[in-house]
């Protein structure tokens, strides 16, 4: 006869996501503090991919059982693509200024890289908050502090 297990976990899969995100945010802060822009960007990309678990991709079929394309048409993904486009442009500006040995243009491009990474960082934190994956900012009962709002 089957018996109900006595142990029932008190946490769900959301906790794993929260722990993973917190570990990634720690890496973001370390890379940003030392000016490792490329490392900062890559970890932000990892956070974004962890936050995009909801929804499905759109599969475009050819009508013969084959797949022509797979797309993510979600508005948040479009913001991500726009941010990455801006990052690619500023990296191109930095490379051009470095190649032409124009220090002032390189410094301007580097500052713009920092600014877009700051935007990306802040936007991801807001995105995470919108998905209720941030701790509440003020809660007198620590047991209720896990999910924001």
Map out the domains of the chain as residue ranges: 13-133
Query: Under 8 Å CB-to-CB from 34, ≥6 apart: which residues?
Result: none
Structure token digits, residue 147:
């999910």
Q: What is the pTM of this model?
A: 0.79
DSSP 3-state of 37: helix
Mean pLDDT of 39-46: 98
Q: What is the pLDDT of residues 87-114, one digit of tens each?
A: 999 999 999 999 999 999 999 999 999 9
């Amino acid at each position: 006869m089957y018996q109900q297990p006595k142990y029932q976990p008190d946490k769900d899969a959301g906790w794993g996501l929260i722990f993973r995100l917190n570990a990634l945010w720690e890496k973001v802060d370390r890379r940003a503090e030392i000016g490792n822009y490329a490392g900062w960007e890559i970890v932000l990309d990892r956070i974004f991919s962890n936050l995009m678990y909801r929804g499905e991709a759109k599969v475009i079929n050819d009508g013969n059982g084959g797949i022509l394309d797979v797309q993510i048409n979600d508005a948040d993904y479009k913001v991500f693509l726009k941010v990455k486009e801006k990052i690619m442009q500023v990296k191109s500006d930095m490379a051009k200024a470095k190649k032409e040995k124009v220090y002032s243009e390189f410094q301007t491009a580097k500052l713009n890289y920092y600014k877009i990474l700051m935007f990306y960082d802040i936007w991801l934190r807001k995105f995470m908050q919108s998905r209720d994956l941030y701790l509440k900012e003020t809660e007198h009962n620590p047991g209720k502090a896990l999910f924001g709002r």
